[in-house]
């Protein structure tokens, strides 16, 4: 007789994109182009959203995770959810991105703190944080380009 009922944890990854069709990220500009292509233009200046690109060792995009949608000035980001998805996708690296509906590209103190926290966690897990982009309709700010990562 079983004394305990326990939920089974299953880890899996499958991609419907053939390996030779994956987009490669070479720099912040190419990451921005990929992110802009999937961002909803109608809401980019309306509500803050946080997305994460997952990359393999060849810097090819394995997938994207729409982590959170907030209000006009903030969205909640749980770093545990970032890395849960990164591990499930077998990612070697990530690129974080969020928009500023105000179109102000300057990172807030919260943006800087979150970036530092996620980079630290990534080091422990062996998952590199390549960049954190703040995007608007026409421009972007790259933490990596600015030497902040």
Tell me the pLDDT tens digit for each residue of 81-132: 999 999 999 999 999 999 999 999 999 999 999 999 999 999 999 999 999 9
The pTM score is 0.90
Instruction: Map tokens 């897990």 to a residue.
Output: 125
Structural domain of 49: 24-142
3-class SS of residue 96: strand
Total domains present in the chain: 1
Residue 115 in domain:
yes
Residue 13 in domain:
no
Are 82 and 52 in contact by the 8 Å Cβ rule? The answer is yes
CATH number at residue 98: 3.40.140.10
**Confidence band, pLDDT 50/70/90 cuts, at residue 1:** low
Residue 7 in domain:
no
**Confidence band, pLDDT 50/70/90 cuts, at residue 8:** confident
Residue 42 in domain:
yes
Residue 32 in domain:
yes
Tell me the pLDDT tens digit for each residue of 42-80: 999 999 999 999 999 999 999 999 999 999 999 999 999
Residue 8 in domain:
no
Residue 69 in domain:
yes
Helix, strand, coil in percent for the chain, rounding step 5: 30, 25, 50
């Amino acid at each position: 007789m079983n004394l305990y009922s326990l939920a089974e944890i299953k880890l899996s990854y499958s991609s419907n994109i053939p390996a030779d069709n994956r987009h490669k990220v070479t720099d912040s500009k190419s990451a921005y182009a990929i992110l802009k292509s999937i961002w909803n233009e109608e809401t980019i200046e309306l509500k803050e959203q946080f997305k994460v690109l997952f990359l393999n060792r060849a810097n090819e995009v394995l997938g994207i995770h729409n982590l959170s949608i907030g209000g006009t000035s903030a969205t909640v980001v749980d770093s545990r959810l970032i890395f849960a998805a990164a591990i499930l996708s077998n990612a070697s690296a990530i690129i974080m991105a969020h928009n500023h509906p105000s179109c102000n590209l300057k990172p807030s103190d919260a943006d800087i703190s979150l970036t530092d926290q996620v980079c630290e966690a990534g080091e422990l897990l062996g998952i590199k944080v390549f960049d954190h982009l703040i995007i608007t309709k026409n421009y972007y700010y790259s933490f990596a380009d600015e030497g902040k990562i």
